[in-house]
Amino acid sequence: MHASPDARAGGHGLPLYSLRAKLLLFSLLLVVVPGVVFALILIASARSALEDAVGRQLVKVAHDTASEVSDLLAREGSKITAWANHDVLREIRIGDAKPRITDFLISLNQSDTGYLDLLCVDADGRVVAASDRALIGGVRADNDWFHATRAGNEFLGGPQLNAADDQPTLEIAAPIRDPGNRTQVIGALLGVYDWKRGVALAERVRINSAALGLTVDVLILNADGMVIAASRNETTTIGGRNLRTAGWLSARSRDPGGSPGYVREPQADALVGFALLKGPQYGWTALAMQPVDEALAPVYRMERHLTLLLIGVLLVGLGVAVLLADRMGRPLRELTRATQEIARAGSPHAPVPVRSRDEIGQLAEAFNTMAGELKRAQDDLVTAGKFAFVGEIAAGVAHEVRTPLGILRTSAQILGRSLSDDPSQNGELVGMIISEVDRIDRVVAGFLEIARPRELLIEPTPLNTILRRALDFVDVQARQKGITLRQALDADQPPARCDPVQIYQVALNLIVNALQMLPAGGEITVSTLPLHHGRVSFEVSDNGAGIAPEMQERIFTPFFTMREGGTGLGLALVQRIVQAHQGAVTVESAIGHGTTFRVELPAVQET
């Protein structure tokens, strides 16, 4: 069965499951996906923030416009009311006063050019005086403003087109009351206001906003949603249209006390700020709007820049990914070949080249180290097999040696009792035989102890109890040698997970070893340490001569001893027992400053 060209690791193709393809795909996703997501989030956030900022500016413009129009209407209404309360107009019932009223109205019209006409009507609606004498004698009893003022109310109506010259005007009227009876209306004053001034006000707001860098169009709607004033840009497009009927969100009917705000107007594709005029009697609304394309132009520019930047980053990322994929793939292929050689021949023909200091280079170094360790492990296994065989023989030899040693010792004792020619010399010789036999027996016993370790019987064991028992056992021997025993045991130390019999042997060996090394007047301190990283510890310290650094490296080696007559097996046995408990034994010593042995054991975990 032959592999396809795309499936060959060393081929020139780019199989989809190869590391190189995965790296390229990962790089593509790593650049494109976060880049697109980041760009979308950034654009959406920028668009929302900019739209909100522009909307707030439009609300301010609409509010300022509404305030100016409200002030204009209030000011003009106050003028008409003040004029209607003038003493001259109250003489409307006196026949010879009518020319004087006409002259008064003409003078007002000349001094205030905002009004096209001023008319004074009597209680029946007949024009008795006017700034335009041609209007005198006409009847206005059917007009809305006349009915309003007849009831004692001020009136504001319009704008409406003047039939004569197609000029938009406002009708502002106020009742004329009887001086002797304020509740009686004796006539009305009507001012025909030139609404072009309102249109000019909207244009002035647009110009002032443009000077501040904000391009807006200003509209004023009446209570029905009709456009009654617009800045120059919108006069020809939506002037006179009913925006509420057209479905504009910004032209909806609102409560008189409603707050200003802004909306995105789909009917005009614009952001529109709106504000109601002050005073519920008007019901008018001021709008300030800006096309969305103009309002969000900075965001659109940012979108184009981000798109170009994303494309550039993508191309650079793909180029870097190709280089990295090739750089990573080559040493990995070399590692694959070396692994196959180990599987086939047991070791690679040559070390894997280390081409970098990154993780892949560290992997190559670790692989070379592993290959070397594997070769050494193979050699060690062969050696261990030999030693295991020798150990079995040694155990048999030790068994066979101990039997005749026992016979020799017994025979030497019998011989010592039977010799009588020279008792002193014979006793010395027999004592030497027995002493040497005992020494050989101790060596063989220690040898067997190391060769055949006992099975551990693990149980929770307080170390303080074991150490006190060991100290009590050597107390008599210590007093005989003039050595002081001290203990510093932590009462709060948790129990250890250990075989109490074997750990007692460890503690006893360390204390006895210190006793044998110390001269008279020395001091031994046995202490327990608090829980640390899941382990409990105890220390055996002395104030003896200390151990040289070169000796510390060999101190746990079997048959190495610093004491005359010692077997060199005690500390080796200590290390074997502690390691069997998954613990550690260490030594700290300095010449002239004593020695400390520390034993660390697993602690019982609280549940």
Average pLDDT of span 301-305: 76
pLDDT > 70 fraction of the chain, expressed in percent and rounded: 74
Question: Which H or E run includes 110?
Answer: helix 98-111
pLDDT at res. 437: 67
User: Do the strands 270-276 and 185-194 form a parallel or antiparallel pair, or are they unpaired?
Assistant: unpaired
> What are the tokens at 298?
């900075």
Measured CA distances, 181 to 102, 157, 186, 452, 553 (Å): 24, 28, 10, 134, 127
* Residues belonging to the chain: 607
Average pLDDT of span 13-24: 60
481/472 Cα distance (integer angstroms): 15
Give the tens place of pLDDT for each residue, 150-164.
888 888 887 876 555
> What are the tokens at 171?
């009708």
> What are the tokens at 289?
């709007």
DSSP 3-state of 421: coil
In sequence order, the β-bridge partners of residue 354 are none
Give the tens place of pLDDT for each residue, 538-560.
999 999 989 888 888 778 877 67
> What are the tokens at 457?
């019987």
Query: Which amino acid appears at position 505 of this protein?
Result: Q
pLDDT at res. 421: 57
84/263 Cα distance (integer angstroms): 43
Question: Contact 298/53 with Cβ under 8 angstroms?
Answer: no
In sequence order, the β-bridge partners of residue 223 are none
Report phi then psi at 217, rounded to 5. -120, 135
pLDDT at res. 291: 84
3-state secondary structure 171-228: EEEEEEECCCCCCCEEEEEEEEEECHHHHHHHHHHHHHHHHCCCCCEEEEECCCCEEE
Average pLDDT of span 548-574: 76
Query: Which amino acid appears at position 262 of this protein?
Result: Y
pLDDT at res. 10: 41
Judged by average pLDDT, the poorest of 246-255, 325-334, 433-442, 514-523 is 433-442
Annotated domain spans of the chain: 16-48+303-341, 85-194, 359-451, 459-602
Give CATH superfamily name and number for 85-194. PAS domain (3.30.450.20)
pLDDT at res. 88: 84
Instruction: Flag whether pLDDT at 444 surpasses 80.
Output: no
Judged by average pLDDT, the poorest of 143-157, 339-353, 410-424 is 410-424
Judged by average pLDDT, the poorest of 273-282, 399-408, 513-522, 546-555 is 399-408
Instruction: Flag whether pLDDT at 95 surpasses 70.
Output: no
Q: Which CATH architecture best describes the domain 359-451?
A: Orthogonal Bundle (1.10)
Contacts of 170 (CB under 8 A, 6+ apart): 73, 76, 156, 157, 158, 159, 192, 193, 195, 198
577/570 Cα distance (integer angstroms): 11
pLDDT at res. 239: 66
Instruction: Flag whether pLDDT at 275 surpasses 60.
Output: yes
DSSP 3-state of 532: strand
pLDDT at res. 446: 56
DSSP 3-state of 599: strand
Average pLDDT of span 413-437: 62
Give the tens place of pLDDT for each residue, 51-92.
788 888 888 888 888 888 888 888 888 998 999 888 888 777
Predicted TM-score (pTM) of this structure: 0.48
CATH T-level topology, domain 459-602: Heat Shock Protein 90 (3.30.565)
129/100 Cα distance (integer angstroms): 9
Report which of 7, 72, 483 is spatially closest to residue 284, judged by C-alpha positions.
72
In sequence order, the β-bridge partners of residue 517 are none
Instruction: Flag whether pLDDT at 138 surpasses 80.
Output: yes
The mean pLDDT of the chain is: 78
Question: Contact 89/101 with Cβ under 8 angstroms?
Answer: yes
Average pLDDT of span 503-521: 91
pLDDT > 90 fraction of the chain, expressed in percent and rounded: 14
221/11 Cα distance (integer angstroms): 76
Taking 3-state DSSP, the helix, strand and coil percentages for the chain, each rounded to the nearest 5, stand at: 55, 20, 30
Reported as a pLDDT band with limits 50, 70 and 90, residue 6 is very low
